[in-house]
A and B are shown apart, each in its own frame.
Chain A
Amino acid sequence: MIRFDGVSKHYPDGTVAVDHLSLEAPTGQITVLVGPSGCGKTTSLRMVNRMIEPTSGRIWIDDQDTASMDAAQLRRGIGYVIQHAGLFPHKTIIDNVATVPLLLGERKATARARAMELLERVGLPTSFAGRYPSQLSGGQQQRVGVARALAADPPVMLMDEPFSAVDPIVREQLQDEFLRLQQELGKTILFVTHDIDEAIKLGDQVAVLRVGGTLAQLAAPSYLLAHPIDDFVADFVGRDRGYRALSFQSTPELPIRQEPTVQIGATPEQVRQATADGWVLVTEDDRPLGWVEPSRIDRDLQPQMVHRGGTVATVSGPLRNALDAALSSPSRRGVIVDDDGRLLGTVRAHEVLTAIEEVERPAVHAEDLQPVEPPS
Chain B
Amino acid sequence: MTWFLDHRAEVFDLAVRHLYLAGVPLLIGLLLALPLGWLARRFRPLYPPLIIGTGLLYTIPSLALFILMPGFIGTRILDPVNVLIAMTIYTIALLVRTVADGLGAVPGDVNQAATAMGYGRVARFFKVELPLAVPVISAGLRVAAVSNVSIVSVAAIIGVAQLGSLFTDGFSRSFLDPIVVGIIACVVLALLLDVVIVAATWLLTPWQRAGKVRT
Interface residues, chain A, with chain B CB atoms under 8 Å away: 49, 51, 72-76, 78, 80, 82-92, 99-100, 103, 125, 127, 131-132, 134-135, 137, 148, 158
Contacts and interface: CB of A to CB of B under 8 A. Distances in A.
A82 B117 contact: no
A82 B207 contact: no
Interface stretch (B47-55, B73-81, B105-113): B105-113
B132 A99 contact: no
B186 to A, nearest CB: 35
Given A90-B207, A134-B212, A135-B211, A72 B118 contact: yes
A72 B110 CA distance: 16
A100 B110 CA distance: 14
Contact of A100 (B109, B118, B120): B118
Contact of B118 (A73, A88, A132): A73
Contacts of A132: 206-207, 210
B114 interface: yes
Contacts of B128: 88, 90
15 contacts: A49-B116, A72-B119, A75-B118, A82-B113, A82-B116, A84-B109, A86-B107, A86-B110, A86-B113, A87-B113, A89-B110, A100-B118, A131-B213, A132-B206, A135-B213
A44 B26 CA distance: 46
B212 A88 contact: no
Given A76-B118, A135-B213, A89 B113 contact: no
B215 interface: yes
Interface string B91-132: 000000000000000010110111111111001000010011
B213 A103 contact: no
B37 to A, nearest CB: 18
Contacts of B115: 51, 75
B174 interface: no
Nearest to B134: A90
- Nearest 8 pairs of A and B residues by beta carbon: A86-B113, A76-B118, A86-B109, A80-B116, A75-B118, A132-B210, A132-B207, A90-B207
B91 to A, nearest CB: 25
A281 B113 CA distance: 51
B112 A86 contact: yes
B110 A87 contact: yes
A92 B118 CA distance: 19
Given A135-B212, A135-B213, A103 B118 contact: yes
Given A49-B116, A75-B117, A103-B117, A90 B210 contact: no
B212 A90 contact: no
Contacts of A125: 215
A132 to B, nearest CB: 4
Contacts of B112: 51, 82, 86
B44 interface: no
Given A89-B110, A125-B215, A100 B207 contact: no
Contacts of A86: 107, 109-110, 112-113
Contact of B114 (A78, A88, A131, A134): A88
B132 A89 contact: yes
B116 A75 contact: yes
A76 B210 contact: no
Given A125-B215, A132-B206, 7 more contacts: A49-B116, A75-B118, A86-B109, A87-B113, A90-B132, A99-B117, A131-B213
Interface in B179-215: 205-207, 210-215
B138 to A, nearest CB: 13
Nearest to B212: A135
A87 B107 CA distance: 10
A314 B18 CA distance: 79
Given A75-B118, A90-B207, A134-B207, A80 B113 contact: yes
* Residue among A51, A73, A74, A75 having the largest count of chain B Cβ atoms under 10 Å: A75
